[in-house]
Amino acid sequence: MGQLAPQERAHVGKLLNAVKTELEAALHARKARFDEQALAARLDAEWVDLTLPAPGQPTGSLHPITQIQTEIEDLFISMGFAVLGGPEVETEYNNFDALNIPADHPARDMQDTFWLADHNLLRTHTSPVQVRGMQRFGPPLRMIAPGRVFRNEAVDASHEHTFYQVEGMIVDRVVSVAHLIYFMKTMLSHIMGRDVTVRLRPGFFPFVEPGFELDIQCFICGGAGCPVCKQSGWVEQLGCGLVHPNVLRMSGIDPEEWNGFAFGLGLTRLAMMRYSIDDIRLLQSGDLRFLNQF
Ligand code: DAH
């Protein structure tokens, strides 16, 4: 402007102002169009139909142990068994003495126990429910008892202080190891969804005589040997046997007239096998990333 002749200044000033006004108007118009387009895109994307039904609460799923427990209960109910429960805080008598494990018996050391006051304890196995079943119902008796048990264990990937078992018992006139094998094969084939091959090894449990450890042939390798079965071809599944006469007698049943079989199965271990869970701690973790998979 400074270099212009004075008479030209007014004219040029006016012109520049007009140009400025026009540019500003164009800028505003374009910005308004962009804003409008952004709004339209958002309205399109965030469109909600208020007449649709609300999504509702997502449904959960049953814990893997609950699933297996329910299947075992249904199977045994179909075979005429009662499903019994018992308290998690038990008496020393029901947990040990009445199962032929007196106070000084070394078998007590096999189960590290959480002791409570007044000769009570957290039950170390579901076997005391046998005692409750025999005392409450007497013979003949067909019962199972699923539930939570406790051991004073150092916790790691394969040991927990809290886990689940299922107990089973038949008391009748003539019960043999053949009956025991039949029921064990039926139960394990049902749970695994295929025919299982089982074998018995001698095993010591004070409440049965004879007592057995029952193994199933390894699914992973079919018996040839692999890391899961520690190269043996067999996987240990449960303890079982024919009920010891002392156990019947202590619960008021005459062993000359009646006998029976009993078994105790680790539900936790069964769930771990069926679902290939490699850390026992996951089962009690309450971790939704784990639970949502079932
Ligand atoms: N109660 C035993 C345990 O926890 C398992 C068991 C073994 C139960 C033999 C039985 C049985 O009924 O007959 O180690």
Does one domain contain both 279 and 183?
yes
Does one domain contain both 167 and 258?
yes
Instruction: Note the pLDDT of residue 268.
Output: 92
**Which amino acid is present at 200?**
L
Kindly report, residue by residue over 179-219, the tens digit of the pLDDT: 999 999 999 999 888 899 999 999 999 999 999 999 999 87
Instruction: Note the pLDDT of residue 276.
Output: 84
**In which band, very low, low, confident or very high, does the pLDDT at 3 lie, cut at 50, 70 and 90?**
confident
Does one domain contain both 102 and 220?
yes
Q: Whose CA is nearest to atom 12 of ligand 1?
A: 263
CA dist., res. 260 & res. 243, Å (int) = 5
**Pair of tokens at residue 238:** 């449960």
Ligand 1 contacts CB of residue 258 (under 6 A):
no
Choose the final residue of a domain: 56, 80, 101: 56
Does one domain contain both 208 and 68?
yes
Is the predicted pLDDT of residue 228 greater than 80, yes or no? no
Residue located via tokens 């039904």: 53
Does one domain contain both 162 and 270?
yes
Where is average pLDDT lowest: 103-107, 108-112, 219-223, 290-294? Answer: 219-223
Does one domain contain both 216 and 153?
yes
User: Cα 137 to chain center, whole Å?
Assistant: 30
Q: How far is the CA of 51 from the centre of ligand 1 (A)?
A: 59
Does one domain contain both 46 and 106?
no
Residue located via tokens 């029921």: 183
Does one domain contain both 246 and 108?
yes
**Which amino acid is present at 99?**
L
**In which band, very low, low, confident or very high, does the pLDDT at 62 lie, cut at 50, 70 and 90?**
very high
Q: How far is the CA of 197 from the centre of ligand 1 (A)?
A: 21
Q: Whose CA is nearest to atom 6 of ligand 1?
A: 264
Instruction: Note the pLDDT of residue 269.
Output: 86
CA dist., res. 274 & res. 271, Å (int) = 5
Is the predicted pLDDT of residue 235 greater than 90, yes or no? no
Whether residue 210 is preceded by a cis peptide bond, meaning omega within 30 degrees of 0, is yes
Q: Count structural domains, the chain.
A: 2
Kindly report, residue by residue over 107-142, the tens digit of the pLDDT: 888 889 999 999 999 999 999 999 999 999 999 999
Ligand 1 contacts CB of residue 128 (under 6 A):
no
Does one domain contain both 25 and 99?
no
Q: Compute and round to an integer the Cα radius of gyration of the chain.
A: 36
Ligand 1 contacts CB of residue 100 (under 6 A):
no
DSSP code, position 57: P
Average pLDDT over residues 245-269: 97
Does one domain contain both 196 and 257?
yes
Instruction: Note the pLDDT of residue 49.
Output: 84
Q: Whose CA is nearest to atom 2 of ligand 1?
A: 264
CATH number reported for the structural domain that contains residue 180 in this entry = 3.30.930.10
Residue 2 lies in domain: 1-56
Q: How far is the CA of 239 from the centre of ligand 1 (A)?
A: 5
Ligand 1 contacts CB of residue 167 (under 6 A):
yes
Ligand 1 contacts CB of residue 268 (under 6 A):
no
Average pLDDT over residues 243-251: 98
Query: Cα angle vertex 170, ends 62, 127, to 5°?
Result: 60
Does one domain contain both 120 and 226?
yes
CA dist., res. 98 & res. 235, Å (int) = 30
Is the predicted pLDDT of residue 220 greater than 80, yes or no? no
Average pLDDT over residues 217-243: 88
Of 265 and 45, the structure prediction assigns the larger pLDDT to 265
Does one domain contain both 94 and 230?
yes
